[in-house]
C-alpha cells in the first residue's frame, strides 16, 4: 500500500476523547463553522475551538425547523445540533460566511440554548480602504467578549503562543497536503485536514505530526490524472475517494474545509490583532479567497492559481464540487468553468448535497478522467 490508509483513524472517537478530556480540565469549548473565524483568538482565551463541518446524515429537523432551501452543509450542522451532538460545546462563533449560513446564525440563536454566542462581522471586500481597521475593531470586541466569557484577560503571550501553535498546525497540513499524489492520497490528506479542525489544536498537531512521520518517505508518484478540487465546503472525503477509485487523484484543492483553512501563517510578533485581521481578511493566498468576497481581482486570481497549477504540470484537470444552493460558488463557476474551457483545460462540474451519489457520479468521473488523460498525452 503506497499511500497511508486512514480508514483506521476514527475522527469522531478521537474528537470525543479529546473534548471530554479538555472539559475535565475545566476549560471551555466553542464551535465555529467558517474558515474566516480567527481560531487563534479563541484558543488564546484558553478555549478550544472546534470546527463544525456537518456530517453525512439524513436531514429531517433542519428541513422543518430551519429550511430546506439551504446547502446540505448548513442543514447537516443544524441537524447535528438538533440531535444534541454538539452537547460538549459551550457556545458557538459565527460570521457572515455566506447567505445560507447567515440564515443559520439567527435560527441557531433562537433554537439552541448556549452559554456563549458571538457573531463576528468581517468586511467582504478586502480592498476597501478602512476594511482592515474596521476588522481590527471588530476583533477587539470579539477578544473582549471572549475574556468576559472566561473571566480572564488574554495576555499577549497567550495569544502569541496560540498563533504559533496554529502556524505549526498549518505548516504540518501544508506538508501533508503538499505530498498529495506522492506520499499520501488526496482523500487521506483531506481526512487529516478535517481531523485537525475537529480537534483542539494541540491534539490536532499531535495527530498531524504522527501522520507526517508515518508517511512513506519514498516518492511513489501517482501516474493517473491529477486533479484540483474547487468549491466551498465539504463535510467528508467521499468525493476525492471516489475519484481515486476511478483512477484519478486530487492533488490540489481550493475549498473552505481544505486549502483555505490551512494556507499561510500569521505573523506572531507586533500588533497581533492586526496580524490576525490581515490574515483573515485578505486570505493567505489571493488565489484562494472565499467566493463571497467581492475584492477586486479575486476571481481572476482564483483562475490564475488553477492555470499556474496546470502550467507547472501539477494538475491535468479541475473538478468543481459545488454545494447545492451555493450561489457564491456558482457565480465563480460560471467564470472559471468557461475560462478553463477556453484554454482547453478539462473541467467537470459536480453538485454536492449529502455527498456525491457514487452510482451516478462514477460514470461521469470515469469519462472525465479518460478525457483528462487523453489531453495530457496529446
Partner 1 sequence: MTAGAKATGRGRKGLETSRQVYPALKAYKIEMEQAKEEGKLIAWCGGGTTSIEILHAMDILPQHIDNMAAVFAAKQLSKEYCEAAEEDGLPHDFCSYYRTMWGYVKVGDKADPRVASIAWPDPDLIVGSNSVCTTHANGAKMLARHFGVPVFNFDIPTIHPRMDVHRDPDHRYKEHSHIGTTYPHELEEHYVNYVLEQNKRFIEFLETVTKRKLDVDRLKEVVSLSSRASQFFFELQDLRRAVPCPVGGADIMSLVTPSFIWAGTERALRIYQEAAAEARGRVERGEGAIKPEKFRLFFESIPPWYNLGLFGYLEDRGAISVIEAYPLMFCCLMDFEKPLESLARKQLSWMYNYSMIERHDFCLRAAETYHLDGAINWNVICCKIFAGFAPLFRDRFNDVLNLPVLTLDADQADPRDYAQGQVEGRIDAFLELLEQRKDATVNVGLVA
Q: Phi and psi (nearest 5°) for 39?
A: -65, -25
What cell does 65 get?
Answer: 425547523
**Count, residues near partner 1 per rule CB under 8 A:** 50
Answer yes or no whether residue 373 interacts with partner 1 by CB under 8 A.
no
* Counts for the chain of helices (H) and strands (E), in that order: 15, 8
* Residue closer to partner 1 (CB basis): 107 or 314: 107
Using the contact rule CB under 8 A, the part of the chain among 13-21, 38-46, 134-142, 169-177 near partner 1 is 134-142
Q: Phi and psi (nearest 5°) for 348?
A: -130, 135
Contact 256, 290 (CB under 8 A): yes
Cβ count within 10 A of residue 135: 24
DSSP 233-291: --SSSHHHHHHHHTT-EEEEEE-TTTHHHHSS----SS-HHHHHHHHHHH-S-GGG--T
Answer yes or no whether residue 338 interacts with partner 1 by CB under 8 A.
yes
* Residue closer to partner 1 (CB basis): 61 or 88: 61
Q: At what angle do helices 186-198 and 238-245 cross, to 10 degrees?
A: 170
> From CA 351, how far away is CA 372, in angstroms rounded?
20
Answer yes or no whether residue 274 interacts with partner 1 by CB under 8 A.
no
Q: Residue 161: which residues within 8 A CB-CB, separation 6 or more? A: 44
Contact 201, 172 (CB under 8 A): no
Site track 198-227 with partner 1 (rule: CB under 8 A), x = hit: ------------------------------
Answer yes or no whether residue 351 interacts with partner 1 by CB under 8 A.
yes
Answer yes or no whether residue 124 interacts with partner 1 by CB under 8 A.
yes
Between residue 308 and residue 337, which ones bind partner 1 under the rule CB under 8 A? 324-325, 327-328, 330-335, 337
Among 112, 119, 178, 247, binds partner 1 (CB under 8 A): 119
> From CA 277, how far away is CA 247, in angstroms rounded?
41
Using the contact rule CB under 8 A, the part of the chain among 135-143, 146-154, 242-250, 307-315 near partner 1 is 135-143
Among 167, 294, 304, 355, binds partner 1 (CB under 8 A): 294
DSSP 6-39: -TT--HHHHHHHHHHHHHHTT-EEEEE--TTS-H
Q: Residue 128: which residues within 8 A CB-CB, separation 6 or more? A: none
* Residue closer to partner 1 (CB basis): 70 or 361: 70
Residues listed for the chain: 378
Among 14, 27, 61, 67, binds partner 1 (CB under 8 A): 67
Burial 89-102 (b: 16+ CB within 10 A, else e): bbbbbbbbbbebbb
Answer yes or no whether residue 114 interacts with partner 1 by CB under 8 A.
no
* Residue closer to partner 1 (CB basis): 221 or 344: 344
Using the contact rule CB under 8 A, the part of the chain among 115-123, 149-157, 226-234, 263-271 near partner 1 is 115-123
CA 218 to chain centre: 29
CB of residue 336 to partner 1, shortest distance in Å: 11
Among 61, 88, 112, 134, binds partner 1 (CB under 8 A): 134
Burial 203-232 (b: 16+ CB within 10 A, else e): bbbebbeebbeebeeeeeebebbbbbbbbb
* Residue closer to partner 1 (CB basis): 70 or 305: 70
* Residue closer to partner 1 (CB basis): 137 or 153: 137
Answer yes or no whether residue 137 interacts with partner 1 by CB under 8 A.
yes
Answer yes or no whether residue 348 interacts with partner 1 by CB under 8 A.
no
CB of residue 320 to partner 1, shortest distance in Å: 10
CB of residue 43 to partner 1, shortest distance in Å: 22
What cell does 225 get?
Answer: 490524472
Answer yes or no whether residue 104 interacts with partner 1 by CB under 8 A.
yes
Residues at the interface with partner 1 (CB under 8 A): 64-67, 69-70, 96, 98-100, 102-107, 109-110, 119, 121, 123-125, 128-131, 133-134, 137-138, 141, 291-292, 294, 299, 324-325, 327-328, 330-335, 337-338, 349, 351
Amino acid at each position: 500500500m503506497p499511500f497511508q490508509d486512514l480508514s483506521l483513524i476514527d475522527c469522531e472517537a478521537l474528537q470525543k476523547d479529546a473534548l471530554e478530556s479538555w472539559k475535565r480540565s475545566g476549560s471551555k469549548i466553542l464551535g465555529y463553522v467558517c474558515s474566516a473565524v480567527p481560531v487563534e483568538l479563541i484558543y488564546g482565551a484558553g478555549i478550544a475551538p472546534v470546527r463544525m463541518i456537518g456530517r453525512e446524515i439524513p436531514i429531517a429537523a433542519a428541513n422543518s425547523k430551519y429550511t430546506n432551501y439551504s446547502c446540505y452543509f448548513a442543514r447537516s450542522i443544524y441537524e447535528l445540533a438538533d440531535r444534541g451532538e454538539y452537547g460538549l460545546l459551550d457556545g458557538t462563533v459565527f460570521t457572515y460566511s455566506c447567505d445560507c449560513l447567515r440564515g443559520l446564525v439567527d435560527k441557531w440563536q433562537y433554537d439552541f440554548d448556549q452559554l456563549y454566542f458571538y457573531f463576528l462581522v468581517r468586511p467582504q471586500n478586502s480592498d476597501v480602504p478602512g476594511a482592515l481597521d474596521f476588522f481590527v475593531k471588530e476583533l477587539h470586541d470579539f477578544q473582549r467578549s471572549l475574556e468576559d466569557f472566561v473571566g480572564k484577560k488574554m495576555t499577549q503571550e497567550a495569544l502569541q503562543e496560540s498563533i504559533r501553535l496554529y502556524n505549526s498546525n498549518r505548516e504540518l497540513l501544508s506538508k501533508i497536503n503538499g505530498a498529495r499524489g506522492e506520499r499520501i492520497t488526496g482523500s487521506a490528506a483531506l481526512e487529516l485536514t478535517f481531523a485537525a479542525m475537529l480537534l483542539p489544536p494541540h491534539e490536532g498537531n499531535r495527530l498531524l505530526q504522527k501522520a507526517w512521520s508515518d508517511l512513506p518517505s519514498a516518492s511513489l508518484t501517482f501516474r493517473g490524472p491529477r486533479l484540483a478540487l474547487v468549491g466551498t465546503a465539504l463535510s467528508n472525503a467521499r468525493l476525492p475517494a471516489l475519484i481515486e477509485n476511478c483512477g484519478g487523484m486530487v492533488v490540489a484543492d481550493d475549498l473552505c474545509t481544505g486549502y483555505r483553512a490551512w494556507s499561510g501563517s500569521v505573523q506572531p510578533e507586533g500588533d497581533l490583532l492586526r496580524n490576525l485581521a490581515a490574515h483573515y481578511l485578505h486570505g493567505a493566498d489571493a488565489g484562494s479567497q472565499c467566493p463571497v468576497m467581492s475584492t477586486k481581482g479575486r476571481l481572476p486570481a482564483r483562475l490564475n492559481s488553477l492555470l499556474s497549477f496546470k502550467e507547472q504540470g501539477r494538475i491535468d484537470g479541475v473538478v468543481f464540487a459545488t454545494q447545492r444552493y451555493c450561489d457564491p460558488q456558482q457565480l465563480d463557476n460560471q467564470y472559471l468553468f468557461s475560462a478553463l474551457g477556453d484554454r482547453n483545460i478539462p473541467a467537470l462540474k459536480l453538485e454536492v448535497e449529502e455527498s456525491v451519489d457514487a452510482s451516478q457520479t462514477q460514470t461521469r468521473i470515469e469519462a472525465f478522467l479518460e478525457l483528462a488523460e487523453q489531453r495530457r498525452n496529446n
